Amino acid sequence: MDDASCLRTVDEPSTIQVNVTARCNLACAHCHVESGPHRTEAMDRATMEAVLAVAERPCVDTVDVTGGAPEMNPDFAWFVERASSAARVMVRTNLVILRDPAYRSLLDLYARLGVEVVASLPNVHDAQAEQQRGAATFDPSIEVLRELNARGYGRDGEHVLDLVFNPQWPVLPPDQDELEAVYRRRLAELGVSFDRLFAVANNPIGRYGAHLLDTGEFDGYLDLLIDGFNQEACAGMMCRRQLSVGWDGRVYDCDFNQALGLAARREDGGDRTIFDYADDPALSLARAIRFRNHCYACTAGSGSSCGGTIVQMS
């Protein structure tokens, strides 16, 4: 892959990642979008309808729903039900939200629709996990994983349950396969099974970026990412195969660019929106990618994406 190819998406991006709300029941230390209970931003139904219209395109095979805690959008269940009739649906969850009685019915909705669950579990030891996610979050996460297992998730080969690891310190993730084996052993002791583990590098923006600045570690971490640049990871960058949609309908290359307000651009210099694509089915999803230094988080070492490691290192 040459350098110029890295600067654009593929001709037909196949994933629409939808950030439906900035609201969250947690305020994780590594959160790049600075979600929390105080946030009120949420995608409205008209914007969701536009997303669904674009999801009907032949090139789109996946709708990836994220937040915040996406479950906290009032129209979340309606959207997931509709999206599942058009494409494969993935939901990114912090697990803890599904212990709340107001959201417990979503477990059955996921199972009925065959929604793929991608669950954040930054550590398999309670003390370390709660340093990142807050007190009293580990045990509820394990309880929800068991409930998902009881519905076939991570066990029957049809209901997919993937986990996500984020480093606690300003370092690159360890080898994904080795870490997955550690997770599998530890979680088996807790009565939990899963399909895959994704090891994701922390991006030096948002709440995590602020933490690095406060501790004087920002420059060192950014240097680590830049020095670790791996050209082979460029071909697998998630921005090359997806369209990211913000709660207000503006579109981006990825959720990280969304957090920084780096929207995709129209020819007139204005921000591109999902309504542009919904109103004009001939308008290609392909585009130039907007890069900044934070992008090195996806190309350092083995590479990093929402689906974990990009390349296998020898």
Asked if the model's pLDDT at residue 8 lies above 60, the reply is yes
Verify cis geometry, omega within 30 degrees of 0, for the bond prior to 68.
Answer: yes
Identify the band that residue 98 occupies on the pLDDT scale cut at 50, 70 and 90. very high
Calculate the CA 196 to chain-centre distance. 15
For 117-145, write each residue's pLDDT tens digit: 999 999 999 988 998 898 999 999 999 99
pLDDT at position 271 over 50: yes
- pLDDT at position 2 over 60: no
Residue 13 has pLDDT above 70, yes or no: yes
Q: How far apart are CA 77 and CA 88, in angstroms?
A: 15
Number of helices (H) and strands (E), helices first, in the chain? 10, 8
58 has a pLDDT exceeding 60 = yes
**C-alpha count within 13 angstroms, C-beta hemisphere, residue 151:** 23
Mean local confidence (pLDDT), 1-26: 88
**Where does 24-143 show beta strands of DSSP type E?**
62-66, 88-93, 116-120
| Per-residue pLDDT at 267 exceeds 80 | yes
Q: What pLDDT was estimated at residue 140?
A: 97
For a pLDDT cut of 90, what percent of the chain falls above it? 88
pLDDT value for 312: 66
**Residue 3 pLDDT class (50, 70, 90 cuts):** low
Chain centroid offset of residue 174 CA: 19
Q: Can you tell me the distance from the alpha carbon of 222 to that of 285, in angstroms, rounded to the nearest whole number?
A: 30
- Where residue 29 falls among pLDDT bands split at 50, 70, 90? confident
Report pLDDT digits (tens) over 287-313: 999 999 999 999 999 888 777 777 765
Summarised one tens digit per residue, pLDDT across range 167-220 is 989 999 999 999 999 999 999 999 999 999 999 999 999 999 999 999 999 999
Going 211 to 260 to 202 to 189, the CA torsion angle's sign is positive
- Helices 126-133, 138-150: axis angle to 10 degrees equals 100
pLDDT digits (tens, 9 = 90+) for 227-240: 999 998 998 899 99
pLDDT class of 1 with cuts at 50, 70, 90: very low
Q: In whole angstroms, what is the distance from residue 39 CA to residue 1 CA?
A: 41
The rounded mean pLDDT for the chain is 95
Q: Does residue 61 surpass a pLDDT of 90? A: yes
CA nearest 69: which of 153, 12, 144? 144
The domains located in the chain, with CATH, are 13-202+241-288 (3.20.20.70)
**What pLDDT is stored for residue 307 in this prediction?**
78
- Write the DSSP assignment of 236-301 as a string of letters: G-GGGSEEEE-TTSBEESSHHHHHHT---B-TTSSBPBHHHHHH-TTS-S--B----GGGGGGTBT
